Amino acid sequence: MSTSTNRDTDDRDRALRALLVDTVEHTPRRRRRWRAATIAGAVVCVLGGAAAGGAITAAASPDPAALEAQSQAATVVGGSGATYLRVVGSPVGRVGSSDETISVGRAPARADTFTWVATCRTGSGEITERGSGVDGGKASCAAGSHVTGSYAASEIAGHRIRLSVDGDLGWTLSYGWLRTPPMPAASAAQDQATEDGVVTRSEYLAAFDRLQGCMTARGESLGRIPRSSLFVAPTAHDAYVLDWCSASEWSAVDTLWQNEHPAPSSDDDSWGWQPYDPAADPEYAG
């Protein structure tokens, strides 16, 4: 009797492992992100459980989708941002299909960023996030697509979060904490450009020139980046060097400039690429 029971258990384990491997290998890899401007300043909404160490409650017969979500959580969270970010603690993976209200715990030591990735598994619908009375944003989601976001630990830790699902939508959520390597403080030149709360076009382009100089000094190049558009969008092969130099010379200036030139409600995601027209921007064209 005992031998037969062990054999049945072994057979179930092998079948479950085979199912998980097949599921992972055939998961779509398309990604979709909310625009940062849509959810800036909002408290992040996540699905299920406290962020610091929540666990999946397993029934007598484990749900393969839930097991897969937890087994892949660290990989998903670690791959959701820049390659130099490091996972801190134990990311959580969950599955569901309905609204969730959760309480986010304290950030682990050395963690500075909280990241979540929602993958729409079945059906289609909309995901809306709200937290502490603030509307976080809404995104459509169909099977195989992703919605992701990252927030400073100081903005999310300790908050109660609400995620609303509209439509026939089954989701998988991976979330956890990340650590960013040390970044420099803003340079004196960047502080001077932003201290009055206004960035002019000449200050904007001067900051970009300093960014390029910083990149060159650290052995990296931005290449030929057009300077004639409303927004200048630097890119580089070494993401850490770009972010390091941006923190020193560019980020605060760029943020103020973009806030001074908000996208219209009719924006089709092309805003910022149009040529800059100083005649149409007398307040900031100096």
**If you write DSSP's letter for every residue of 214-241 in order, what string do you get?**
HHHHTT----S---SBSS-----S-HHH
Domain count along the chain: 2
**The pLDDT of residue 9:** 45
Written as six digits, the tokens of 89 are: 């603690």
204 with 164, same domain: the answer is: no
Of 147, 179, 211, at which residue does a domain stop?
Answer: 179
**The pLDDT of residue 61:** 63
| Beta-carbon count within 10 A of 230 CB | 17
Please list the pLDDT of the chain residue by residue as tens digits (286 residues).
444 444 444 444 444 444 433 333 333 333 333 333 333 333 333 344 444 444 444 445 678 889 999 999 999 999 988 889 999 999 999 888 877 666 678 899 999 988 888 888 888 888 777 765 455 677 787 888 887 777 788 887 877 667 777 778 888 888 889 999 999 999 999 999 999 999 999 999 999 999 999 999 999 998 889 899 999 999 999 999 999 999 999 999 999 999 999 999 999 989 999 999 999 999 999 8
**The pLDDT of residue 151:** 77
Distance CA 109, CA 256 (A): 31
Sequence-separated (6 or more) residues with CB below 8 Å from residue 151: 43, 44, 113, 114, 115
Distance CA 154, CA 176 (A): 14
Query: CATH number, domain at 61?
Result: 2.60.120
Of 154, 179, 204, at which residue does a domain stop?
Answer: 179
Distance CA 55, CA 184 (A): 36
DSSP H/E element including 25: helix 2-25
Residue 125: domain span: 28-179
**The pLDDT of residue 73:** 94
Distance CA 189, CA 202 (A): 13
Is 116 part of any domain?
yes
- Looking at residue 173, what DSSP letter applies? E
Of 179, 213, 242, at which residue does a domain stop?
Answer: 179
170 with 204, same domain: the answer is: no
**The pLDDT of residue 200:** 98
